[in-house]
Structure 1
Amino acid sequence: MKSRIGKSIILLALIAVVSMAIGGSVFAGQGNSKATNKKEITTAQAVSAIVKGLGLNIDHIRFIKEPKASDFYSKVQDNAPYAGDFIVANFNGLDLPKDINPSAKVTREQFAKWLYGALSQKGEYAWIEIFLEISDAKHITNGYMDSIQKLLIANIFTLDSKQRFHPKNGVTQAQADVVIARTVKFIRENAPIEEPKPSILSNASLSTEKITDDVLKVTVTATVPHSGYGMEITGISFEKGEAIIHLRAVLPDPDKMYPQALRDVSVSTYISAKLTPVLGDEQPAAPFPG
């Protein structure tokens, strides 16, 4: 009996030793990771994190010659591993100064401003009209507050328990990863506002001519970008004594070249003399009838 108890004690002791060894190795690894994450990142690391984290690119831009970092920044070397990210940043709203130092430490307010600039390139979002109180607002650089406010409203950045933002503090890799992940989540969950397309028909006006006591000729005139564009009436709706005339532009022949000179186009229709003609909203343009 004593022999069995002795073996059991030895076995438990071995298990305890192994468990401590395994546990120690796990926590040691976490400690090293935390040490890395607590290290403040540089401007170059911040720019690369935003560019890569938000999937920014310049694929939509055609260049006459290959762009170089030195075309836009005085302290970014063309052969630096992060040079490409700085080029992308230049065309994606980060608004980096020309003399930016890639090796300098990045502050929370800088990171917020660049991150919001990149977010704005993803679309126009609806923001609630509130202004959050920040107890250390006096330390925020002029021109940075709007970006910080928007990111606080979106819960991408947060204040501490005393409502401080700590704008001059550095940014660690862990902090950068968190706010970028929140930004990606915000983009995924919030559809941007669709911007109205600019009108092709500008300065639209109408004039009338009495044909008979019962019939009016209505002529609509509008300005188009060049002679390739046309205009047509898509329909007339009637409401409370009004004849609402609906218009749309007709796009130019895509296989032809036109001199870029504004011109006026006109189109006419006939309505009852008892009605008052008014212009309706411009309808989506029609393709060239080719």
Structure 2
Amino acid sequence: MNKSFKIITMSATALLALSFAGQQMASAAAFKDLNNVQDKEKIIALQNSGLIKGVSEDRFAPYLSISAAEGVQLIVNAFGLNLDTIRFVKAPLATDYFKNANDSAWYAQALIIAGVHGLDLPADLKPGEKLTREQFTYQVIDAMEAKGQLPMIKPVVVEYKDQDQVKVEYSGSLQRALSYGVLKLDANGKLNPKQEITRAEAAVAISNALSYLKAHQAPETAAGEVLTAEEAVQFIKDAAGPEAGLQIKIAPAGSMTRESFTYLLIHTLQTSGQLPMIKLNPVDIADDDQIDILHSGAIQTAIALKITALDGDGNFKPQDGITRNDAAAMVTRVHEILDAKTNQ
């Protein structure tokens, strides 16, 4: 029998159990090796907020390079990514997302969280490989924009001397990093994209990213506001879990109707074998003529399982946009059904 479970990770305000190197060290004492480090006050602020630790009680080792696993751990914790609201049919493994990972390593949970949240990391990520400035910056911007739901901006293009050294797929993110103030050029007007990023540089980049998010956070979606298609799909993923293998091509900024959301939710749960078999007794829907016949079975199933309901006039209102309240209520009901099935 498959068992449901929940993994809880630390929020952005919780203490990291690990330093960048994954070692458990104390961080109460002030770091004594930051005297000549640029932006040391930002590193100290992160230490005081519990977001970073040193390699020893009083040493931060600012000039050491960080590995891919260390970078993911830092990003996951800094942006408060976790699995608190996600239900899994079976326990995920780091190797489900990253083939070169070690499922028993200190970084395994961080890689699982990154994978579940869809951070743009290579499937062949090598945990111990050192990160370059362009790689880490790209990953920070990816997580930052996903977390903050930032408005699209047209960055002022910044020319820098070693622009020809930047990997093409990273160039847009690096330009936005410069616009956001996450990254700065050196005194010679260079970005040094291929240079290994140090602990100090990574910490400062995270500090700058968090400061930008705080100043430019998009307003939260009101409970009754219609969700974008991207937000609606995330609700479905949260309900079904990553094992469902949801693959939907959408226009992220577009809205999603009640009909489409209900169909996708039920279809995803059925094709992944998570919904119980039931004998349907179709109900009369007053506005049934507005429902695509291909979606009617899924909607009838949702009504039968009390995942959704008709209004007082017997209407489903299929073409109305799905709201955050409605989506959350449907997902909560799905969790109740799946939990009951698991405990049988």
Q: Give the TM-score normalised by structure 2.
A: 0.51
| 2:110 aligned residue | 85
Letter in structure 2 aligned against 1:173? R
Aligned-residue offset at 1:223 = 4.0
Say if 2:129 is the partner of 1:104: yes
Change (3 A) 1:71 1:185: same
Deviations 1:233-267 (A, max 9, x none): xxxxxxxxxxxxxxxxxx96872679xxxxx999x
| Alignment RMSD | 4.0
Deviations 1:97-118 (A, max 9, x none): 1221111110011001111111
Q: Which runs of 5+ in 1 are unaligned?
A: 1-25, 203-220, 230-250, 259-263, 267-280
Aligned-residue offset at 1:80 = 0.6
How many residues get paired? 209
Give matches, 1:212-227, under 5 Å. 222-223=290-291, 226=296
Change (3 A) 1:66 1:196: closer
Bigger Rg, which one: 1
| 1:117 aligned residue | 142
| 2:91 aligned residue | 66
CA distance in 2 between partners of 1:111 and 1:127 (Å): 21
Letter in structure 1 aligned against 2:84? D
Aligned-residue offset at 1:85 = 0.6
Q: From the two aligned structures, give the one with the greater strand fraction.
A: 1
CA distance in 1 between partners of 2:306 and 2:32 (Å): 68
CA distance in 2 between partners of 1:256 and 1:34 (Å): 54
CA distance in 2 between partners of 1:162 and 1:29 (Å): 26
| 2:257 aligned residue | 200
Letter in structure 2 aligned against 1:200? T
Say if 2:181 is the partner of 1:155: yes
Deviations 1:205-244 (A, max 9, x none): xxxxxxxxxxxxxxxx744654898xxxxxxxxxxxxxxx
| 2:166 aligned residue | 140
Change (3 A) 1:126 1:254: same
1:55 to 69, 80, 83: 80
2:192 to 166, 171, 183: 166
Q: Which runs of 5+ in 2 are unaligned?
A: 1-29, 36-55, 229-254, 260-288, 310-314, 327-344
Larger RCO of the pair (alpha carbons < 8 Å, separation 6+): 2
Q: Confirm or deny: 8 A CA contact 2:31 2:59 kept in the other structure.
A: no
CA distance in 2 between partners of 1:265 and 1:185 (Å): 44
Letter in structure 2 aligned against 1:121? A
Aligned-residue offset at 1:179 = 1.0
Q: From the two aligned structures, give the one with the greater helix fraction.
A: 2
Give matches, 1:220-259, under 5 Å. 222-223=290-291, 226=296, 255=306
Q: Give the TM-score normalised by structure 1.
A: 0.59
CA distance in 2 between partners of 1:200 and 1:27 (Å): 54
Q: For 2:169, what is the secondary structure of its paired residue?
A: coil
CA distance in 1 between partners of 2:74 and 2:31 (Å): 27
Identity %, equivalent residues: 27
Q: For 1:122, what is the secondary structure of its paired residue?
A: helix
Change (3 A) 1:61 1:161: same
| 1:240 aligned residue | none
Change (3 A) 1:124 1:69: same
